[in-house]
Amino acid sequence: MASIGVIGAGTWGTALAVLLHNNGHETAVWSALPEEIEEMKQTRRHKNLPEITIPEEIFLTADLETAMGEKDVLIMAVPSVFVRSTAARMKPFLKKGQLVVDVAKGIEEGTLKTLSQVIEEELPDAETAILSGPSHAEEVSRGLPTTCVVGAHRRETAEYLQSVFMSPVFRVYTSPDMVGIEVGAALKNVIALAAGIADGLGYGDNTKAALITRGIAEITRLGIKMGGKEQTFVGLSGIGDLIVTCASMHSRNRRAGILIGKGYTMDEAMKEVQMVVEGVYSAKAAKALAEAYGEEMPIVDQINQVLFEGKPAKEAVGDLMLRDKRIENSLLPWE
């Protein structure tokens, strides 16, 4: 049995806390919002996960030192935009070598660092790892079969976390490719916004399939230049996570995209969804990374124009369709 502190009481942090409790681990959940913790203590429910009851054995607290103290594993489950500030708050209470597992998905806009790199910068004494894959909190919390991948610098760490998370309903693979996992996890949210916009415009399955397929091509090209491995992008944290995020109504990125496709502004869509839409923050970072690495990413570029430059969504789709003629894969030889 491990002792685990979940830093962040959103849907994903809460779902993982329930999973880890069911796996037999001692689990605590922390929130920066005392009123959120009080409501969860009183109701033993999360307002965005109404179908589950939070077991009484899961300790809920707004005290960060208590949540971190004597824990074998700390799960970083705050939205990507709060990872750096939360890590800075954690620093005084961190034990040297304490294991911090990031489960948020994003790229830091200002620095263009992955979230594990942000954590390592703020918490140099921690050992970092990541958990990612096609895993909506709404389904994990209900015990529906799910598969993810753990990335870590050391094999021993990845295999330890694999044993911590693994259950009959939560299968976990391991990988050394932390960069590839994190790039796929962050950029799929941008493509999911595009897929949602297409849905909002009334387009069909053909359009979505095109966005998913060309989207993973964009992500893969950039990810390889950043040091990721091609195999990762055809795996769970690449095409797997992209499919589920583009196709499911659990996806806040897709839901926000649908609203934008129907004519909502970005701010109106985010307000309507009522949760952090990670793809909005990742879109600017993805564009900046594409420019920094000299990689063409037309879907990412058009999404940025729609979100931040007021370009009509239908016009953006038209510009994607009317780009210059291309070969699908330049590595394939002709006879």
Q: Distance (Å, rounded) from C-alpha 89 to C-alpha 330?
A: 48
- E strand intervals along 8-98: 26-30, 59-61, 73-76
Q: Do 283 and 193 touch, CB atoms closer than 8 A?
A: yes
Q: Distance (Å, rounded) from C-alpha 212 to C-alpha 235?
A: 14
Q: Distance (Å, rounded) from C-alpha 269 to C-alpha 177?
A: 34
Q: Distance (Å, rounded) from C-alpha 216 to C-alpha 187?
A: 9
Angle among Cα 40, 46, 50 to the nearest 5 degrees reads 135
Of 188, 208, 284, 287, which is the active-site residue?
Answer: 188
* 188 given a catalytic annotation: yes
DSSP-derived 3-state class of residue 114: strand
Q: Distance (Å, rounded) from C-alpha 60 to C-alpha 75?
A: 14
Structure tokens at 166: 């693994």
Q: Distance (Å, rounded) from C-alpha 9 to C-alpha 104?
A: 12
Residues 6+ apart with CB under 8 A from 127: 97, 98, 99, 100, 153, 154, 157
Residue 264 has a CB neighbour count (10 Å cut-off) of 18
Q: Distance (Å, rounded) from C-alpha 63 to C-alpha 93?
A: 11
In terms of Cα–Cα distance, which of 301, 298, 305, 277 is closest to 287?
301
| H or E element, residue 195 | helix 178-200
User: Concatenated DSSP letters for 213-260?
Assistant: HHHHHHHHHHHHHTT--HHHHTSIIIIIHHHHHHH-TT-HHHHHHHHH
Q: Distance (Å, rounded) from C-alpha 112 to C-alpha 56?
A: 40
Active site residues per annotation: 188
